[in-house]
Structure 1
């Protein structure tokens, strides 16, 4: 009987699973789902939690009039000690349990295809879950390990995500190359410098080929947050003034709007205390219409649809000089032209953070641009024009290659079975 190994790329925005047949040594299928969970407004009739995952989460969210609880970018809370649990449908969920819901969905879909209860997996992880804290990184790794166990995986190894992408790229090569891999995802940007050789694709020990790894906690969500801050929050009352005391007007605290720029915070931005605070500001602002939009955004869980509109503008600007930031829902009306130059200015700080980290990585690892034969970029954020220009300007002599931006990592992880042969 054939045996299988799953390569799993649990991502901030999307998650992928590649099914590797260990008998035939071939990838048989690759699955991709959005990393989304939608909890319905009410539990099932038997009292069990009612939720759906992936594409079905979006459909259910819209069908139920956005009344339930929509969870996105749950990967971002793995390294957050401040996040211990959240209450949904009168049940408490910790970080590992939320991640396990997505991993379980992937496993269930894959097991249907293999006809087996596959419990062996290589799961990807960023080089750093958090930029500056070993403690947070360890916490995230522990939570991800627990989530894998809860999802039914008993024999698990972890691999850096950019190394997974590298092994997928290696299968396309004709000769040996020194490659810089950049995995630009929703939450992190990770780098690996390594030697790839198609003649060694099935070797059991690849440690000597891994020359350097590094990463920074900046990704597509960071770009979207910057755009939301500059172009989105004014529509939700960022400049609203309220009467603090008779005759004295102040501007509503900016911290409120910072929280709607971050998915990891917006997911859990709905407690009774914040609702009371918003109601007070609204009343003392003279019932400002734009501040009302903020209350509507939170009350009706509209964050996902707003960020989808931002995402659409970002995608359009990857190939055009102008796009429209368009959103019309429940009285919130946004229709604004965005020039590519304006967008690049808005996200410029985040792109510079990636550039500065890349330069530091090259210095620290003693890598010269001429040491790199080719670049391999993967992840959805690699399609942003200013990101591509960054790599082209830093490495003008190196060939720039891309693969499947959403499946490459999972495929390479599935080719990492050698990890089970090392102690």
Structure 2
């Protein structure tokens, strides 16, 4: 039996263990140590996770894809049910299946049973809602216990990233850790040094800790609402003067964790009624095509790919011929910034709160450590760095820093089986 660090993320998941006193991420999908947090329920009853889940969906296999499940923790949706094949399952059960599959894969790859875990968690699962935040952690704890973990504790994700970064520094410094993930953006200000790295209790070295429930999926939603959903009827007028089409359908279709709600019984009937009363019914024919083919995640993935491409290219886009011949989306980098600059500013504003909490000025920060997939967005990086302009910028392991740090913490708390 052994201990592990588990980073169940909105977009990706890792699990690490200690080998010869160093954190090592376990291969979870062939040689990959990072696995997408995705699950596909095949219509015939089979279940796929990770890249295979996404591939099955893209290939048009019959079934239902689910992503961004972590975003449901702490919300009232966690115990709602959704139709999956012939059964209805709660989202809690879906998360448990996914995390359980990751645990089993890791145990098979490592050749040990994991009984103790340090779970990563954002600073806030839900903003300004302590009770919901507590429920989210309790839900993950209950799921982990049901999967066979006997010892379950938690560590803030930016603190975990700090532990991984600290292994490589030569002297003492004060670091701002910025972990900009798929669902949340988290910051910690931590006093680090090679000497402190060996100390078990680091409470006095954590000078500030704050976060906000904004991440990569929120950028996807804003871009989708701005560039894709208007092609399907979002913001369009109804025949009745001064009335626009209902917006809730489009917000759900643009939100990773809510897409499957659009396939529930009765939704298409409601939209057909809206179509009959719309000034431009053709737009709602397009929306109905997306729902009838259950291709909402196709749109979300195309938007996500375009967002990522705009980090390097001035323009990106994708064809929607499967909806209507000749229909396409073209997005300029300026469009991405225009739709999401408010999100980038809200993320950066948390740095000011952290500095105030730590009673420090921007000039006191020696290094800013960037990790998480969404730090690749140029305007997000600029907004963060502008808050601490004199700090040295350090690039972390984009998808592995948190998992390695959680593994370091697992060894401290539980010990580990050191394997050569």
Fold-level similarity (TM above 0.5): yes
Query: TM-score scaled to structure 1, two decimals?
Result: 0.90
1:104 corresponds to which residue?
100
Partner of 2:186: 190
2:274 is aligned with 1:292: no
Residue 129 of structure 1 corresponds to 125
1:81 aligns with 2:79: no
Q: Deviations over 1:153-174 (max 9, x none)?
A: 2221111001111111111211
Give the Cα separation in 2 of the matches to 1:52 and 1:386: 35
SS in 2 for 1:8: strand
Deviations 1:110-160 (A, max 9, x none): 111221222211110001001110111011111111221233322211110
Aligned CA distance change for structure 1 residues 239 and 95 (closer, same or farther; 3 Å): closer
Q: 1:316 aligns with which of 309, 316, 319?
A: 309
**Coordinate RMSD, CA, aligned:** 2.0
1:38-187 equivalences under 5 Å are 38-43=40-45, 50-63=46-59, 65=60, 67-87=62-82, 88-187=84-183
8 A Cα contact 1:36 1:70, kept in partner: yes
Whether the aligned pair in 2 keeps the contact of 1:41 and 1:68 (CA below 8 Å) is: yes
Deviation digits for residues 76-112 of structure 1, max 9, x if unmatched?
Answer: 1111124422232233333332222221122122111
Distance 2:127 2:98 in 1: 25
Find the counterpart in structure 1 of residue 354 from structure 2.
Answer: 361
Whether the aligned pair in 2 keeps the contact of 1:123 and 1:156 (CA below 8 Å) is yes
Number of the residue aligned with 2:219: 223
Counterpart check, 1:407 vs 2:409: no
Structure 1: gaps of 5 or more residues: 44-49
CA-CA distance at 1:334 after TM superposition: 4.6
Q: Does structure 1 residue 389 correspond to structure 2 residue 382?
A: yes
Distance 2:58 2:348 in 1: 38
Measured after TM superposition, the shift of residue 405 of structure 1 is: 0.8
In the alignment, which residue of structure 2 is the partner of 1:260? Answer: 253
Look up the match of 1:47: none
SS at match of 1:415: helix
In the alignment, what sits opposite 2:294? 301
Determine the C-alpha separation between the residues in 2 that align with 1:80 and 1:297: 27
Counterpart in the other structure of 1:211:
207
Q: Which residue of 1 aligns with 2:413?
A: 419
The aligned length equals 406
TM-score by length of 2: 0.91
Report if the CA contact (8 A) 1:67-1:301 is conserved. no
Structure-2 separation of matches of 1:373 and 1:310? 36
CA, structure 1 residues 73+335, in 2 after alignment: closer, same or farther (shift >3 Å)? same
Q: Offset of 1:268 from its aligned partner?
A: 2.1
Q: Distance in 2 between matches of 1:255 and 1:174?
A: 52
Please state how far the C-alpha of 1:364 moved relative to its aligned partner: 3.5
Quickly say closer, same or farther: Cα 1:202–1:109, change in 2 above 3 A.
farther
Secondary structure of residue in 2 paired with 1:20 = strand
State the SS of the aligned residue for 1:204: coil
Tell me the distance in 2 between the aligned counterparts of 1:58 and 1:370. Answer: 44
What residue is the counterpart of 2:11 in the other structure?
13
DSSP 3-state at the match of 1:70: strand
Contact 1:78/1:95 (8 A) holds in 2: no
Q: Which residue of 1 aligns with 2:339?
A: 346
Q: SS at the partner of 2:403?
A: helix
Contact in 2 for aligned 1:238/1:254 (Cα 8 Å): yes
Compared CA separation, residues 399 and 159, structure 1 to 2 (3 A): same
Question: Which residue number corresponds to residue 30 of structure 2?
Answer: none
Structure 2 CA distance for partners of 1:72 and 1:396, relative to 1, 3 Å: same
